[in-house]
Amino acid sequence: MSQAFNNTQPIYLQILQRLCRQVVRGEIKAGEKLLSVREMALQCGVNPNTVQRVYVELERLEIAETRRGLGSFITEDEARLKRLRKQLKNEQIENFIADMAETGFSPEEILAGVREKLPDNKGRRRD
Amino acid sequence: MSQAFNNTQPIYLQILQRLCRQVVRGEIKAGEKLLSVREMALQCGVNPNTVQRVYVELERLEIAETRRGLGSFITEDEARLKRLRKQLKNEQIENFIADMAETGFSPEEILAGVREKLPDNKGRRRD
DNA sequence: GTATGTGTATTAGTTAGATGGTACACTATG
DNA sequence: CATAGTGTACCATCTAACTAATACACATAC
């Protein structure tokens, strides 16, 4: 791994986001064990304390449960994971549309722009 | 103003972004004078040094020019502003699509989702 | 010239995020 | 019991972002 962490976003939030996305797209399944704090820290090139913060937050969100001495596990609650999927979808779309509107782009321009950049639009690409 | 500045993003970047968007959507026009460092600081409820940083950055981006003793002014270079518009549009759309893809949403789902949430879609709203 | 409103520079202090290191508590295994 | 792998809890330190206060340089108007 050892990705960049370029952003101005705190690293722990970036790791949190990455884990949530891995769960939503099924790369990590319900009930599955996460890497230990120390392993994940090694893999990310980050301090264990930073990963610890991620796992605490995941537990607060009820996306993972930690069992002392055993490790952290993604929740078995599939309904919770479905909610997470919907939540991420809504948030990402709504934030995007709000950003675009604030920058002055019309709904038509937004829709056209998205269609243009989408992977398999039917030959509408321009750039 | 005195907006929230909720994010984990540095305040000076948030102000920078807001100004860029105001320029792109025409609320601030080419050649127009910006608020002084001190005024803007007051309006934003922020330290003058923080605003100073924004103006320096705007100058580096060639979006504004500062004239010592006079103030900071949006560039007269309309071509530069057109480029800024295109840049913001591309960045926002590409980041959005990349985020959605990373979260596991298909192009169809992305397009449908956007259409659904857009202000004046023709009765396709659901939520 | 003086006064005012600009940008600019410097210094010091606070805070959150992140690091580094150590130690402790719990669980499973043998 | 001992051991190893877990999560958990501290503590000291570093850095960037932000604040606070002051001072200086330039431009304009009087």
Per-residue HEC secondary structure of chain A comes to: CCCCCCCCCCHHHHHHHHHHHHHHCCCCCCCCECCCHHHHHHHHCCCHHHHHHHHHHHHHCCCEEEECCCEEEECCCHHHHHHHHHHHHHHHHHHHHHHHHHCCCCHHHHHHHHHHHCCCCCCCCCC
Q: What is the pLDDT of residue A2?
A: 42
Q: Which class would CATH give A11-76?
A: mainly alpha
Q: What is the pLDDT of residue B122?
A: 57
Contacts of B100 in chain A (CB under 8 A): 89, 92-93
**Structural contact between residues A41 and A55, judged by C-beta atoms closer than 8 angstroms:** no
DSSP B104: T
The C-alpha atoms of residue A31 and residue A65 are separated, in whole angstroms, by 9
ipTM over 0.90: no
Smallest Cβ–Cβ distance between B96 and the set A92, A104, A121 belongs to A92
Whether residue A1 is predicted with pLDDT greater than 70 in this model: the reply is no
pLDDT category at A7 given cuts 50, 70, 90 is confident
pLDDT tens readout for residues B24-61: 999 999 999 999 999 999 999 999 999 999 999 999 99
Across chain B, mean pLDDT equals: 91
pLDDT tens readout for residues A61-119: 999 999 989 999 999 999 999 999 999 999 999 999 999 999 999 999 999 999 999 98
A56-CA/C30-C1' distance, Å: 32
pLDDT tens readout for residues B55-96: 999 999 999 999 989 999 999 999 999 999 999 999 999 999
